Amino acid sequence: MAEETRETERMGEPDEPGEERQRLGVSCTRGPGEMRAVVLSAFGGLGKVRVSSRRAVPVPRQGEVKIRVKACGLNFLDLMVRQGNIDNPPKTPLVPGFECSGIVEAMGPDTTGFEIGERVMAFVNYGAWAEVVCAPLDFVYPVPDAMTFPEAAAFLVSFVAAYMMLFEIANVQEGMTVLVHSAGGAVGQAVAQLCSSVPRVTVFGTASPSKHEAIKDSVTFLFDRNTDYVQEIKKISPEGVDVVLDCLCGEDTGKGLALLKPLGTYILYGSANMVTGETRSFFSLAKSWWQVEKVNPMKLYEENKIIAGFSLLNLLFRQGRADRVQSVVRKLLSLYREKKIRPVVDSLWALEEVKEAMQRIHDRGNIGKLILDVEKSPTPLMANDSTETSEAGEDEDEDEQDIDSDSKERVPFIQ
Ligand SMILES: NC(=O)c1ccc[n+]([C@@H]2O[C@H](COP(=O)([O-])OP(=O)(O)OC[C@H]3O[C@@H](n4cnc5c(N)ncnc54)[C@H](OP(=O)(O)O)[C@@H]3O)[C@@H](O)[C@H]2O)c1
């Protein structure tokens, strides 16, 4: 009977991009108090991700902002979460996603700070890939007029991480040299732009050869990630580099430390190399652990080297340092207004295309950030792939439990 009522309510409810979705054969009906969201049903491969149109719409609590989401950022970390390749993984099913942009729809009780209708972007501790998100005030920021929703969804994680590593940990200054891996990725492009804001900073980047033509002007020297980049850098800068930003914890850690000049800083901020396929590989995990340089503090002392680690999400969500991040966002927004930085958006995807979007990162195809555009309709070819209508068996059942608790577009590279 309850099911019948819900069905009747849904039939009578027009759904804004609904007609187009129905034309494409995608289920999008939802009852009052329900919304569309990407759901990770269990850790694993792409098959564990789908769209549910029946997630409960969250209600803002005191101190929270309710956001009608327009765009969500897809980070490499989201692939690692999907695989369960992270420390202390949360329970599934869950809605993934750590950043989004949208419009303020409501404020929690006794909460002020944003106007209804204001354009905002936010860090979210899981749950960003949904039509509606509630985030604490400390994690929400106004979006400048000139910034589009996709750009805003591409801004926070990559630029704050890049800024804090370059300027708050490594203290990058005029004339320094920086090595960054995956230079074409979202963080890599943020690093390149931020380094350009300081005079005479040399950036050595590594990337897959397919990206070289598109990104060659964003860094000073670009190397194929498969070549012996250490030798190449030493030919250009025999004394090494001042800063190594390493997101490939393993073999590259030793190479990075060896490349550091005296008083240079090595920062580990990721372990992308542990992702070797669609699902988690214990072999690659063990290999990375084995290859990683075991650091001897005595050696650091003798060689005058600094070694650091950085995790933005831990800083925000586990270590309570949103205040520190706020001051960084203010500086970044100034740089944006001065036109010194601008987020690079690789492509826009409908929520229903989330698997294809993730596959693009697995395939090392992206330049900048992939964005899930909440209002975009899936392309006909992809329409049936990640929707709840195409999922059978266990995932459908999980969807029931959830109730209670247009063509691909490339945005040109921006200098
Ligand atoms: N610690 C932090 O606070 C923080 C914050 C944000 C991101 N991160 C880390 O920074 C790195 C970049 O993140 P992002 O979100 O900007 O992603 P991204 O660089 O846009 O990610 C995609 C790129 O990573 C490279 N890559 C390296 N290993 C890969 C693998 N095993 N499989 C597929 N691609 C691989 C590929 O570029 P090439 O083939 O050209 O190398 C690929 O195009 C990730 O390790 C991420 O976890 C850390």
- Tell me what pLDDT residue 277 has: 78
- Tell me what pLDDT residue 399 has: 42
Q: Is the peptide bond between 136 and the residue preceding it cis, with omega within 30 degrees of 0?
A: no
Average pLDDT over residues 350-356: 97
Q: Which atom of ligand 1 is nearest to the CA of 181?
A: 41
> If pLDDT is split at 50, 70 and 90, which confidence band does 409 have?
very low
- Tell me what pLDDT residue 291 has: 61
| Whole-number percent of the chain with pLDDT over 70 | 81
Cα 263 vs. chain centroid, distance in angstroms?
31
Q: How far does residue 53's CA lie from ligand 1's centre (Å)?
A: 30
What is the signed CA dihedral for 220, 346, 325, 86, rounded to 10 degrees? Answer: -100
Mention the CATH class of domain 157-317. alpha beta
More confident residue, 86 or 375: 375
Place of tokens 């992206």: 366
Q: Which atom of ligand 1 is nearest to the CA of 369?
A: 20
Instruction: Check pLDDT > 90 for residue 292.
Output: no
CATH topology match: 6-155+344-403 vs 157-317 = no
Instruction: Check pLDDT > 60 for residue 412.
Output: no
Average pLDDT over residues 169-197: 98
Instruction: Check pLDDT > 80 for residue 215.
Output: yes
> If pLDDT is split at 50, 70 and 90, which confidence band does 14 have?
very low
Instruction: Check pLDDT > 90 for residue 50.
Output: yes
Ligand 1 atom 37 nearest Cα: 182
Q: Which atom of ligand 1 is nearest to the CA of 346?
A: 20
Average pLDDT over residues 21-30: 45
Contacts of 368 (CB under 8 A, 6+ apart): 154, 184, 185, 186, 189, 343, 344, 345, 346, 411, 413
> If pLDDT is split at 50, 70 and 90, which confidence band does 36 have?
very high
> If pLDDT is split at 50, 70 and 90, which confidence band does 293 have?
low
Q: How far does residue 382's CA lie from ligand 1's centre (Å)?
A: 25
- Tell me what pLDDT residue 254 has: 86
- Tell me what pLDDT residue 280 has: 72
Specify the long-range contacts of residues 15-22, CB closer than 8 Å, at least 24 apart. 16/375, 17/375, 17/376, 17/377, 20/377, 20/406, 21/377, 21/378
More confident residue, 402 or 167: 167
Residue (of 166, 341, 161) closest to 242 by Cα position: 166
CATH 3.90.180.10 for domain 6-155+344-403, yes or no, is: yes
Could you tell me where the beta strands, DSSP code E, fall in 115-158?
Answer: 119-123, 132-136, 140-142
Place of tokens 């009977």: 1
Q: What does the angle CA 352 – CA 69 – CA 149 come to, to the nearest 5 degrees?
A: 95
Q: How far does residue 269's CA lie from ligand 1's centre (Å)?
A: 10
Average pLDDT over residues 251-255: 84
What is the H or E stretch that residue 194 is in? helix 186-196
Burial class of residue 377, CB neighbours in 10 A (0-12, 13-18, 19+):
buried
What is each CA distance from 12 to 31, 35, 52, 191, 213, in whole angstroms?
Answer: 9, 16, 19, 49, 52
CA terminus-to-terminus distance, the chain: 58
- Give the separation between CA 18 and CA 198, rounded to whole angstroms: 48
Ligand 1 atom 5 nearest Cα: 161
| Whole-number percent of the chain with pLDDT over 90 | 73
Q: Which atom of ligand 1 is nearest to the CA of 370?
A: 20
Instruction: Check pLDDT > 60 for residue 54.
Output: yes
What is each CA distance from 249 to 257, 266, 274, in whole angstroms?
Answer: 12, 12, 8
- Give the separation between CA 325 and CA 164, rounded to whole angstroms: 8
Ligand 1 atom 18 nearest Cα: 185
Using a 6 Å CB cutoff, which residues line ligand 1?
A: 75-77, 157-158, 161, 182, 184-188, 207-208, 211, 225, 247, 269-270, 272-273, 275, 310-312, 361-362, 364, 366
Burial class of residue 344, CB neighbours in 10 A (0-12, 13-18, 19+):
buried
Domain range list for the chain: 6-155+344-403, 157-317
Supply the mean pLDDT for the chain. 85
- Give the separation between CA 268 and CA 304, rounded to whole angstroms: 18
Instruction: Check pLDDT > 80 for residue 207.
Output: yes
Q: Which atom of ligand 1 is nearest to the CA of 315?
A: 3
Could you tell me where the beta strands, DSSP code E, fall in 208-344?
Answer: 221-224, 241-246, 260-268, 306-309
- The count of C-alpha atoms lying within 13 angstroms of the C-alpha of 97, restricted to the half-sphere facing its C-beta, is 33
To test the pocket of ligand 1, the residue of 179, 181, 182 to mutate (highest count of ligand atoms within 8 Å of its CB) is 182
Contact between 139 and 122 under an 8 Å Cβ cutoff? The reply is yes
- Tell me what pLDDT residue 398 has: 43
Buried-state track 161-186, b at ≥16 Cβ within 10 A, e below 16: bbbbbbbebbebeeebbbbbbbbbbb
pLDDT in tens, 260-285: 999 999 999 998 877 777 877 766 66
